[in-house]
Amino acid sequence: MDQEMSQGMLRLGRREFAAHEPVIMAIVNRTPDSFYDRGATFGDEPALARVEQAVAEGAAIIDVGGVKAGPGDEVSAAEEARRTVGFVAEVRRRHPDVVISVDTWRHEVGEAVCEAGADLLNDAWGGVDPKLAEVAARYGVGLVCTHAGGAEPRTRPHRVTYDDVVADVLRVTLGLAERAVGLGVPRESVLIDPGHDFGKNTRHSLEATRRLGEMVETGWPVLVSLSNKDFVGETLDRPVKERLIGTLATTAVSAWLGARVYRVHEVAETRQVLDMVATIAGHREPAVARRGLA
């Protein structure tokens, strides 16, 4: 399928995003033990300040998470809701037009945050709770359909193998996407995500990146969550706080291959990378053009 024809309108909340408009999703962790920020936005005021900064730097989506992805202390659905629901309501009040996403796999939490004003449910664990898509349909919100290799939430991959990792990614994400639409989720509000690091080793995540165009060619908008992940760290042998350059390189490749939404920690740096790639591709004009004209 021609990439120009495969890229359609993406609608989330009050926003519509054109075919070649890259979209930044800023991560706001409401957890005390995030792998990246170690609880820097666990408190309300730091988290709200993070939202203000992310929006100012060009994020169109705020992705709120109440449970860290990796192993750690047990977090009940009630505690996850306590960390996210009131915050979603306050972000909605302060930013009527921003797209609010919540990273959750639990339908109970999904229902509560949709009541509070969320526009998108980011199901990073691949439909482990099938009722979450039903909640998205009932509230008319968007849904991210992710490949997690059948892993249980908050577990790390162990000796995971695939005959063809991208074929499995396509099978799972397209199945989840079609199911969501069948339940009533608006087709233009469904995204697919290869799930870097989720149920994958580093070589799997690299192959999913290299072959991202195969996902783009399906016509579903592709979300990538690359920011400071282990596959970047292992590729370059860098600790978490030294993975920005590798993340941005992977972002540039993903943008060239046609990804639409980028879930990130560093918004300003990502914005520059995406603008540069879009301009090279001919989808954006340079901000200024003086050289050789005077």
What is the Cα–Cα distance from 25 to 204, expressed in whole angstroms? 23
**3-class secondary structure, 29:** strand
CA distances from 171 to 1, 68, 175 (A): 18, 26, 6
Structure tokens belonging to residue 34 = 């995030």
Contacts for 248 with CB less than 8 Å, ≥ 6 apart? 269, 270, 273
Please give the chain's pLDDT, 294 residues, in tens. Answer: 334 334 678 999 999 999 999 999 999 999 988 777 777 888 999 999 999 999 999 999 999 999 999 999 999 999 999 999 999 999 999 999 999 999 999 999 999 999 999 999 999 999 999 999 999 999 999 999 999 999 999 999 999 999 999 999 999 999 999 999 999 999 999 999 999 999 999 999 999 999 999 999 999 999 999 999 999 999 999 999 999 999 999 999 999 999 999 999 999 999 999 999 999 999 999 999 999 997
Biggest alpha carbon distance in the chain? 64
Tell me which CATH code domain 3-280 carries.
3.20.20.20
200 classed as catalytic: no
* 229 in catalytic set: yes
Catalytic residue among 30, 179, 200, 263: 263
Q: Which of 83, 106, 211, 229 is catalytic?
A: 229
